Structures are given as structure tokens and as C-alpha cells.
Structure 1
Amino acid sequence: MHLKPQPGRVVTDPATGQPLPEKGARVEPSQYWFRRLQDGDVTEVKPQQQKPRTSAK
């Protein structure tokens, strides 16, 4: 799952001990993250996918 903190919030990733980056990060689903979602501390987002490159012919 890909989560990002709500604006103005600092949410620590228990796996790394570091704050979750503002742009978000991929984390393993766990009770910790489900509680953060339920409390409104983080938002689940779809990671931006790179568009496939088309070759010029």
C-alpha cells in the first residue's frame, strides 16, 4: 500500500524509524497503518506510474 501523511502531520514508519516522506511511501499493510488510516493521520494514494515511452519512427 502507498501512504502519505496528512498535511502538517509527521507519521513515523515503525519499520524504518523515520518519518514518512511528504510525497508518501510504499509500506507493508499492518494494524499500525490501518489505525493511522482510520485516525486520519495518513491517506492511501495510488503511486504515480510512469507513462510508457513510445519510440519515434
Structure 2
Amino acid sequence: MFVKPKDGRSVHDPARGDLLPAEGRNVDESQYWYRREIDGDIEIVQPSKDADTDKKASAK
């Protein structure tokens, strides 16, 4: 699923050990991310076309 931090929030990504970037990223679906959504720290969104393009380009 694709998540983005809400404006003004810094959200730790436990799988990568860093902060979730402002533009968002794909993460594994888990209780952690659903809890962040309930707490108002993130929003679950559809990835932009640019994110899909970047993913395909990096796979090559």
C-alpha cells in the first residue's frame, strides 16, 4: 500500500529504519501503518503515475 505523512508529521518507517518521505512510498500492509492512519499521522493514497514509473525504471 502507498502511504504519505500528513502535513507537518514525521513518521518512522520501521522496515527501512528511516523517516517516511513527504512524497510517500510503498510499504508492506501491517497493523503499524493502520495505527498511524488512525492516529492521524499518515494517509493511505493511490500512488501517482510518477511513482509507478520510478518503480519500473529502477527494476530494469
**Higher strand proportion, which one?**
2
Secondary structure of 2:48's partner? coil
How many Å apart are 1:27 and its aligned residue? 0.3
The answer to whether the aligner puts 1:28 opposite 2:28 as a matched pair is yes
What does the per-residue CA deviation read over 1:22-55, in whole Å, with 9 as the maximum and x for residues that have no partner? 00000000110010011110001111125xxxxx
Which structure 2 residue ranges, 5 or more long, are not aligned?
51-60
Q: Please give the root-mean-square deviation of Cα atoms over the aligned residues, in Å.
A: 0.9
Higher helix share: 2
Runs of 4+ aligned structure 1 residues displaced above 6 Å come to none
TM-score by length of 2: 0.78
- The higher radius of gyration belongs to 1
TM-score relative to the length of structure 1: 0.82
Of all paired residues, the percent bearing the same amino acid is 50
Distance (Å, rounded) in 2 between the aligned partners of 1:37 and 1:44:
7
Aligned partner letter, 1:43? E
